Amino acid sequence: KDKDKDKDEQLTQREKSYPPAPQKSFLESILPSPMGLAGMLLKPLASLVGSMFEGARGDVEAVLELARAAVRRSGRFGAAAECGPVLGQSYASSSFNGKKSARVQLQFQVSGDGRAGMATCTATIDDSGARLDDLRVDGHSVDLSQTGPGASSGGVIDVER
Check: CB of residue 112 under 8 Å from CB of residue 78. yes
Peptide bond into 85 cis (omega under 30): yes
d(CA 133, CA 143): 10
Check: CB of residue 56 under 8 Å from CB of residue 93. yes
Residue type, 77: F
Check: CB of residue 70 under 8 Å from CB of residue 144. yes
DSSP 8-state assignment for residue 156: -
User: Three-state SS for 150?
Assistant: coil
pLDDT at 28 over 80: no
Q: Is the pTM of this model over 0.95?
A: no
User: What is the tens place of the pLDDT at every residue in 101-142?
Assistant: 999 999 999 999 889 999 999 999 998 899 999 999 999 999
Which among 155, 97, 104 has a CA at the least distance from the CA of 129? 104
Looking at residue 26, its pLDDT comes to: 59
Check: CB of residue 119 under 8 Å from CB of residue 110. yes
Mean pLDDT across the chain, nearest whole number?
Answer: 76
